Structures are given as structure tokens and as C-alpha cells.
Amino acid sequence: MHSSFHFALGLALGTLTFLPAILRRLLFEQRMAFLMRKWLWVSYALGIFAIIPNILRRIGTPEPVCTGWQMNIFLFHPLINNLKSGGMLIGLAVIIICFIIQYSFLTAAIALSNKS
């Protein structure tokens, strides 16, 4: 699978994990900045975590290490690679969707802070 797909997987996992807490805060019009910051950090960190095998491959790590079963700790990287090839467009689409979700909540929080 393309590295975009793996990155998107990590990003989506981080985005969805925090979503209920973000929604709760937004509905009760509580301060959002610190939780939002954590949300962004965690989701993009997970995205980078998911592509560590790709990074290792690029810096010259031997292929058996990059595709070994132990690399499944990076969000099932080799397992997903064995399922299907490609995935760049899907990855890009998921990255854009996650961005839209996070950006929409940020903009909504700013608009709400305007009101209060």
C-alpha cells in the first residue's frame, strides 16, 4: 500500500478517537484550545507512526526488517501491504476528510468563542 494510505489510517484513528470528547466540549461551549491541540498532535503523530516502516525503508533499513511481522506494531503496516497494492488516492481522500473534520471543528469553536 502507498505510504499515503498508512498515514491516512493513523490520522483517521487519531481523528475519530478524540471526536466524542471534542463534540461534548463544543456542545457545552467549553474551552477547546488545549483539547484541540492534543487532538491535532495525536492524530498527526499517529499518522507519522504508521509510516515508520516506510521511513526506515527510505533510510536504507534492510527489506526483511521493514516487512517483518514485528512491524505490525505500526498499525499493521505489513499486514495491510499484503492485502492490496496502491491506495494513494484513497489515502489522499481520507487525509482531506480528516482535515475537513478537524478544520470545521476549529472554525466552529472560533465562531462560538466570538459569540461568547
Partner 1 sequence: MNQILLGVSFPFVAALIVYAIRRGRTSVRILILVPVCMTISALWAIAPDIPRLLGFSDLYNRLASDPRCDIFFWHYSIDLMEINSPWYTAGFVLILLCLLTAAWRELYLREKGL
Residues that bind partner 1 (CB under 8 A): 3-4, 7, 31-33, 36-37, 40, 44, 47, 54, 88, 91-92, 95, 99, 102-103, 106-107, 109-111, 113-114
Q: C-alpha grid cell for residue 82?
A: 499484503
Q: Which is nearer to partner 1, 11 or 69 (CB)?
A: 11
Q: Which is nearer to partner 1, 69 or 111 (CB)?
A: 111
CB of 47 to partner 1, least distance (A): 8
In whole angstroms, what is the distance from residue 31 CA to residue 17 CA? 19
Whether 58 contacts 68, CB under 8 Å: no
CB of 34 to partner 1, least distance (A): 8
Q: Which is nearer to partner 1, 73 or 110 (CB)?
A: 110
Q: Which is nearer to partner 1, 69 or 97 (CB)?
A: 97
In whole angstroms, what is the distance from residue 53 CA to residue 55 CA? 5
CB of 33 to partner 1, least distance (A): 4
Positive or negative: CA dihedral 97, 98, 103, 109: positive
What is the residue-wise DSSP string for 33-57? HHHHHHHHHHHHHHHHHHTHHHHHH
